[in-house]
Structure formats: structure tokens, C-alpha cells
Amino acid sequence: MSGNRELLSDTLARTASEDRAALIAYLPGGFPTVEGGIAAVKAAVAGGADVIEVGLPHSDPVLDGPVIQTADDIALRGGVRIADILRTVREAYEATGAPILVMTYWNPVDRYGVERFTAELAEAGGAGCILPDLPVQESALWREHAEKHSLATVFVVAPSSKDERLATITAAGSGFVYAASLMGVTGTRESVGEQAQELVRRTRAAGELPVCVGIGVSTREHARQVAGFADGVIVGSAFVKRMLDAPDEAAGLEAVRALAGELAEGVRGRGV
């Protein structure tokens, strides 16, 4: 079975044709449980998310801030495995029809086996992978298998990325480019600033891929601000925090749906 890279591209093309940014929600797989994580993805899509990133919990998450690390710890203590992440992708895709990516560090994929992981992710209906710590110059093996299974390869760029590197990444990647709005780890911030806008401008100038911005987006106003210059708005920690703060799982799911609704209004209100 082929992966859903084309669905991801079509979704981003559709949101662009609607003159708005896509809302991309990040949720850790296996949090608070495997079933709860699947329900959270469904809630985010029901609220208005266009694309989902399912995080593969990792014991050394270099890009993730304290909120996502807390969720990852809960998932890992619950015994989450790659098979559970693939189940999350499959069940969430079958229920929602939304493009679903896995965001993972390279080590778990390398240990699992690149051919096995890409084949199983495609079979589950996955759209691709975001690999924040895989250097583009070391990505040939991954890209070969991702291409074979029609999976997108999303690379992460940062404000420190030189123009030459941006050109290399936009040529090697597919789906979209993940622009990290700030140097540092994920988490909510008071504002998502000019650095992000300049990074989007430079990345667009370097290639053809849509550019989606993450790290620091947590409110409707943030989403509106970022949607004014990016093709997609990525939100993770704010969803996870709502779930962590909820008194029970049902309240957490409702909080995810409600936040997705607020953010969806934000991405539709760009330029207003």
C-alpha cells in the first residue's frame, strides 16, 4: 500500500486555495493512553485541524520542551511502542481521513529498520514523517524508502539555517518544510516574532515547498499572526497542556476540540 503523501500535498493546496493557512496539530502517541491518544487526534480534527502530527515518544527529545516531555514520560511509562504509534496513525486516519504524519527522532526508526518502518507507516495510511534530528546529508537511505512508499519527508529548518542549507532541504524534502520559529525547544510563548517571518521568506525563496511554522504558537491570535505569512501553523504544546491540565480524559478531549476550534478561526482570519 502506498502512503498518503499526495493527500498531504492536496490538503495544503486546498487550504491555500481557500486563502488560509493549514492548521497542523501535534499530539504525542500513547498519551494519556494509546486509546486516549487516538481519541485526541479525532477531537483535534473534529475541532478544525487539517493535518495531524503524531509524536513518537522518545527518552531524549532534544527539540521538545517540558510540556511535551511530560506527556512523553507518561506514554513511555505506559509502555508505548512503535506498533502503538502505527495503530494510532491507522485508526485516526480511518476515522478522520486527514493526512497524518509521524514526528520522530531518528534513533527509534534506525533501530526498528528503515524499510520496515516506512512500509508499515504507509500500510497504516500515514502521509509521511518529520525527522527533526536527521541531517539532510545523511538522509539518502530514509528518502529512498520514503519515496518507494509515497511518504513525505519533512525536514526542520531554524532561523540559524543558511540559505545554502535551505536550498538543499527544500530540494530533498517533500510535503512541506517545518520552520522552527525560534531557536530552542518547543513550548508556548507570548509572541511568535519577526524571526519566523524572515525564515519563511528565505525558505520560500529557496524552493517550491509550502512552509509551516511551529514552536511557540498557542493562541488564536498567534495562529492569526503566523497564518499571515506561513502556509501552515503547527501547534503542539498548547494541546498537550490542555490535556495535562484537564481533570479527566473526557474533559481533556473536549479541551483539545475547543482549542482546535479557536486556532482554526485564527488561521482563517489572517490579514483581518
pLDDT tens across 24-64, in order?
999 999 999 999 999 999 999 999 999 999 999 987 766 66
> Over the chain (272 residues), what is each successive 10-residue block's mean pLDDT?
90 96 97 97 98 90 76 91 97 98 95 97 98 94 97 94 94 96 50 78 95 88 91 95 95 97 90 46
Q: Looking at the whole model, is its pTM more than 0.75?
A: yes
- CB of 71 closer than 8 Å to CB of 239: no
User: 53 an active-site residue?
Assistant: yes
Our answer to whether residue 60 is catalytic in this structure is no
**What percent of the chain shows pLDDT beyond 90?**
79
Q: Residues 124-136: pLDDT tens digits?
A: 999 999 999 999 9
Q: Is 91:139 a contact under the CB 8 Å cutoff?
A: no
User: What would the grid cell of residue 164 be?
Assistant: 545554502
> Would you mind telling me the total number of residues written for the chain in this entry?
272
> Of residues 53, 84, 120, 231, which has the active-site annotation?
53
Non-local CB neighbours of 3 within 8 Å, separated by 6+ positions = 118, 121, 122, 125, 126, 127, 128, 146, 149, 150, 151, 152
**Domains plus CATH for the chain?**
4-268 (3.20.20.70)
Select which of 6, 10, 64, 94 is catalytic: 64
In angstroms, the Cα distances linking 232 to 26, 35, 49, 69, 70 are 13, 27, 11, 24, 26
